[in-house]
Amino acid sequence: MAGAKVRLAGWCRGLLQGPAAVGLRPTSEVCRFKRGDYAQLSNSHLSHFERLLDRGRVITDEAELDAYNVDWFKTLKGSAKVVLKPRSTEEVSAILKYCYDENLAVVPQGGNTGVLGGATPVFDEVILSTSLMNKIIKINDIPGSIVCEAGCVLETLNSALAEHGLIMPHDLGAKGSCQIGGNISTNAGGLRLLRYGSLQANTLGLVAVKADGTILDCMNTLKKDNTGYHLKHLFIGSEGTLGVVTEVAVQCPPRPQSVTMAFLGMSSFEQALQTFRLARTMLSEILSSCEVMDAASLRLTTDTLRLRSPIPEHAFYLLIEVAGSNQGHDEDKLNTFLETAMSQGSTSDGLVTAEPSKMKDLWQLRERIPEALFKNSYAYMYDISLPHDDYYNIVPVLRERLQGSEAFAVTGFGHLGDGNLHLNICSPQFSPELLAQLEPFVFEWINERGGSVSAEHGIGFTKTQFLKYSKSEAAIRTMRQVKSLMDPRGILNPYKVLPQE
């Protein structure tokens, strides 16, 4: 999705006109933010870093810096003057201790694939890149785990696990670039969460370095360890604001022997929900994905990208994947499930396939929706979670609300199994009036229904002022206290996660 035009926070909307029209202006010039009271990088600092690492791992060349300063969506641009590439936990510790003593702000960065600006500098923070910390330390066949450094790329880990008959418990679109340290620091979700759970569930242990350079060894390869407070969870999903994750251990499920898919059509969301409920019961332990698309999402995708739906138009579609240890059993279960869904009337049409090329085609219909959304329009995107009863209701509500506006489409698709909806509003170009109709309305609507304003993307830089719609005042106050405890000088990833006071 690099280069796509996306919606940013309203208070930062100056950025919206930036990239497309006149090239990317620095975030610090566009956003109304005050730089923290940190030291400016000096030659003496640089000399120290070169003594700590060596010249090749202290990057100051401006052209080279761009890849680290600019975010995945190419809508934010930091002004860092140096990128440091440590090779070990000890080097990370030495860097942070020095930065802490010198009052230099630091942004930890993995594969830089975050979509909310959590991994790019806002001003001139020092970038600490984990990309050279890419060693696999150990793969345990029983009961299945991997221990590695934070800079390992997700796809590399998954490939290394193949010969051990294991897989990583999570799978993301960015798997070719994203790093496991970043995944864990953002509690990344993705396609396998329905089956295997979150990274909070699958991270067995980690080593993190605190802002002052203290190495906190919470490494563990055990499934059970109830000794003291479970500190590792503080670093999972806190987006590098409480410490820099340098090594991790992740539990890895057995690699499925068979994968089979079904593509189903139905005439109402209620029926989609009934079908999902049936899948939970009948497919139970082999259900690995349950994705939903509304008619508008699929039509836009097939029309824009010249793809073909394998079944006639319906109001809703479910893409169901099962994965297990016995192809015959899995197909048997899936066929019986489909027959039941058709005879009960919750599904009108559908097909089952285990042919890899056909399964790939089916996944394209789902995975390329964002590409279609961006192709000929400006897209306001919301990545939200809602209780299933309210999962799709926001779409008709917005269609009603936006009648007469510039919006020409309101669509919804997403991980139905996880209650995670991708809500999208398309208009010919960015419109402040349309944005004002959307926000804070959407967030208030979600808040009233106990939903989450960020299901899997985190808070990063661009969503800090929306945190209050999903977390109570007392909780945010406690978060601030935890931040002060772990990083009293606030040098680690400033301006992120917690709203400015």
Whichever of 286 and 300 has its CB closer to a copy of itself, that residue is 286
Whichever of 29 and 225 has its CB closer to a copy of itself, that residue is 225
Dihedral sign, Cα of residue 457, residue 460, residue 463, residue 464: positive
Please list every residue from 305 through 324 that binds a copy of itself, using CB under 8 A.
Answer: 324
Structure tokens at 397: 């509500």
Whichever of 397 and 467 has its CB closer to a copy of itself, that residue is 467
Please list every residue from 254 through 273 that binds a copy of itself, using CB under 8 A.
Answer: 254, 256-257, 273
Residue of 112, 130, 179, 198 interacting with a copy of itself (CB under 8 A): 198
- The least CB distance from residue 406 to a copy of itself, in Å, is 29
CB 432, CB 399: distance < 8 Å: no
The one-letter code for the residue type at 28 is S
Whichever of 296 and 497 has its CB closer to a copy of itself, that residue is 497
CB 146, CB 157: distance < 8 Å: yes
Binding letters toward a copy of itself, positions 149-188, x by CB under 8 A: ----------------x--------------------xx-
Q: Is 479 in the site for a copy of itself (CB under 8 A)?
A: yes
Closest CA to 27 of 460, 488, 377, 501: 460
Closest CA to 257 of 357, 162, 154: 162
450-463 burial, b if ≥16 CB within 10 A, otherwise e?
Answer: ebbbbbbbbbbbbb
Please list every residue from 23 through 82 that binds a copy of itself, using CB under 8 A.
Answer: none
The pairing of strands 287-294 and 409-415 is: antiparallel
Residue of 268, 284, 344, 376 interacting with a copy of itself (CB under 8 A): 284
- Tell me how far apart the alpha carbons of residues 350 and 269 are, in angstroms, rounded to a whole number: 16
Binding letters toward a copy of itself, positions 78-117, x by CB under 8 A: ----------------------------------------
Binding letters toward a copy of itself, positions 382-411, x by CB under 8 A: ---xxxx-----------------------
CB 199, CB 236: distance < 8 Å: yes
Q: Is 458 in the site for a copy of itself (CB under 8 A)?
A: yes
Element housing 412 (H / E): strand 409-415
Q: How many residues does the chain have?
A: 501
- The least CB distance from residue 404 to a copy of itself, in Å, is 32
Whichever of 94 and 426 has its CB closer to a copy of itself, that residue is 94
Please list every residue from 111 through 140 that binds a copy of itself, using CB under 8 A.
Answer: 140
CB half-sphere exposure, 4, CA atoms < 13 A: 21
